[in-house]
Structure 1
């Protein structure tokens, strides 16, 4: 089996966190079927292709077995719902970087528009089994835009779409995608990296204070993550009990969040902007935390939720997207806030801190969703069309 993955969401040495769920999935699929030849074309937004400039991105250490090749895909904001056509042209150019005579047996394309929609238009790839992956915003936002919605629905006639939550699947079905062409497969979790551990030892290792309750956020500082709510709720909770909020990640809202925290009374002793961290570091921060937090406006089923459970730590979140699909059956592992109210969120945080779950039971629940199980389901959907 020769599998070609085409996507903009794939890491490089400069951005090792980009598309981390996708590269982890590919490694898991390779482990599941060692005989498979998996290759990646990563097309990043940029105009270097038109200018004849070679894409300078380099492979992240450890990903060489996936043979990633980096290239440019032009993206014009004013071109809007036609950008998949530009993406298709970029894919045609990028295909030339594959070894002579190498032809894919199947295609895997995370991100619906423009990536998967563009790939479906490439003549050289027509007729190949295509599995596209809906990750979140490509459904939540793009189905409201007529041109992109039409492109996604056309894709759903040609490809099998995997959604990373049932909520995303239902949104596609309500828009008109055929039910037989859309299925839900939750992301996996790395149970070897994320597992319970001694909280005090983890805090000592990270030079964190031992005394206050520690809250952890992991993600991008983007508007969709609704971090203003988390910071305000943490400030309210701090008026009741000592807390330490740690934010792992970065993004355009960092300066705004720092200013909000300072005005809310969360000084350096109460909030830490830790920057981006690798998976092993994030896992150690989770073992050091009392609870993991999310305050998004919408989500699929975020990896950080599964990683929190695998680490034996409770999860506090707004009730967004498909989060309840995983948290509802969990053994006392989550507190969801139905409304975007800082006082209600602060109360949920207090509840999670006051009644921690059994970390062994919670971690065992997460083990049922490890990456190998996820990889098997992806292979099933890729191979099934070949066997018809």
Structure 2
């Protein structure tokens, strides 16, 4: 056990969903945990003027204060920046300075730092390690591992600096590890997938969930959950739905989420004449997602690339089949047709074929649910704590 007088500092981008649950799964091993959540004051303008892609940047979306353990304190860390690619490289140093300000303002003490994402949280944490001389763990989730370091030489140097500054690296899939091996990194790496909360994501009565959400009872319902970003591949799901309804008119698809692609997707849906078959209900808080998942016949994630998506584990926890793409760590989890079906990414024709096949398949909810038990956050948290123990 870690001595109970130890304190942890978490530098993260959002205290909701997988970052929140990862922290909560380990907090019992510390006397106290301070969580610094990067925020952007610009996003708060969307409270007054609706800007769809800013919705997921707002504090009331990024910070979920439901079920917060008593030894966790959550502090917004304001970092003013324009959410454009041209400003992204400057974010690391700004994040570090904002984190330092928050540490001093809130009199935060810590014996270990854990950041989620290499940029910009990882960079800020690497700088804090240099100043405070405490162990530093970084979790690389997805784009920050498979994309950022390979954009140009400057990005490569920055991400290598973060990874080599860390005492331990956690990443969520063997696929991610293969990208880390392409870099000049000497830090030990641990593969730990994301997880889910079984007290929130479990099989519920489909009819009751549909009634609660106002969804029809006489349709086959597909649900996709994720930010409306190009990398999530929703364009191909909409294209696939145009093919699906040629074979079945009883299918309705809900793409739950907000983001930059919302306007483009609405235009695509309208131009394809799919308004009666594809709906965009907008972004939902994490505690609303279990009902959406339990309302569906199939959960679909058409990503072009991934780390190891949390929604996959949540879907399995609800006993629902996962229909996805052969990217990132997904094929490492969907290892049998008993749990889901996978198609090639960026291929709407193959995705449509897979969806149609899945709609006709008899799925064993009990078997899917039983398989998911190894991916609960409680199980993942034990492994994270084992890493902390080696450093403390």
**TM-score band, normalised by shorter chain:** 0.7 to 0.9
Post-superposition offset of 1:21: 1.0
For structure 1, the 5+ residue unaligned runs are 12-18, 49-55
Partners of 1:239 and 1:93 lie apart in 2 by 58
Alpha-carbon distance in structure 1 between the residues aligned to 2:356 and 2:23 = 38
Q: Out of 77, 81, 95, which is 2:103 matched to?
A: 95
| Alpha-carbon displacement from aligned partner over 1:308-341 (angstroms, at most 9, x marks no partner) | 111111111121111111111x461111112422
Q: 336-345 or 196-205, which moves further after superposition?
A: 196-205
1:258 to 266, 287, 307: 266
Select the residue among 295, 309, 316 that pairs with 2:316. Answer: 309
- Give the TM-score normalised by structure 2: 0.86
* Rounded Cα–Cα distance in structure 2 between residues aligned with 1:291 and 1:371: 23
Higher mean C-alpha deviation, range 152-161 or range 72-81: 72-81
Q: Distance in 1 between matches of 2:69 and 2:317?
A: 28
| Cα 1:78/1:307, change in 2 over 3 Å | closer
On the 8 A contact 1:164/1:186 being kept in 2, the answer is yes
Distance in 2 (CA, whole Å) between partners of 1:153 and 1:360 is 43
1:67 paired residue among 70, 73, 90: 73
* Equivalent residue, structure 1, for 2:180: 172
> TM-score when scaled to structure 1?
0.87
Matched residues, number: 364
SS in 2 for 1:313: coil
User: Cα gap change, 1:337/1:47 in structure 2, threshold over 3 Å: closer, same or farther?
Assistant: closer
Alignment of 1:104-183 (within 5 A): 104-122=110-128, 125-144=131-150, 145-159=152-166, 160-178=168-186, 181-183=188-190
Q: CA RMSD in A?
A: 2.3
Q: In structure 2, do the counterparts of structure 1 residues 292 and 96 end up closer, same or farther at CA, with 3 Å as the change threshold?
A: same
| 1:236 paired to 2:243 | yes
Aligned residue in 1 for 2:230: 223
Cα deviation, residue 363, structure 1: 0.5
Distance in 2, Cα, partners of 1:239 & 1:69: 51
Aligned with 2:285 (options 278, 285, 293)? 278
Which residue in the other structure is 1:288 paired with? 295
Q: Within 1, Cα distance between the matches of 2:265 and 2:144?
A: 26
Pairing partner for 1:367 from 373, 377, 382: 373
State the match for 1:23 in structure 2.
20
2:37 equivalent in structure 1:
42
> How far apart, in 2, do the equivalents of 1:10 and 1:106 lie?
19
Quick check: 2:238–2:278 contact (8 Å CA) kept in 1?
A: no
Number of the residue aligned with 1:10: 14
Secondary structure at 2:164 match in 1: helix
Cα 1:344/1:147, change in 2 over 3 Å: same
Structure-1 residue corresponding to 2:255: 247
Note closer, same or farther for the CA distance 1:204–1:26 as it changes in structure 2 (3 Å cut): same
Determine whether 1:327 maps to 2:331: no
CA distance in 1, matches of 2:40, 2:288: 29
Indicate the SS of the match to 2:367. helix
CA distance in 2, matches of 1:199, 1:123: 48
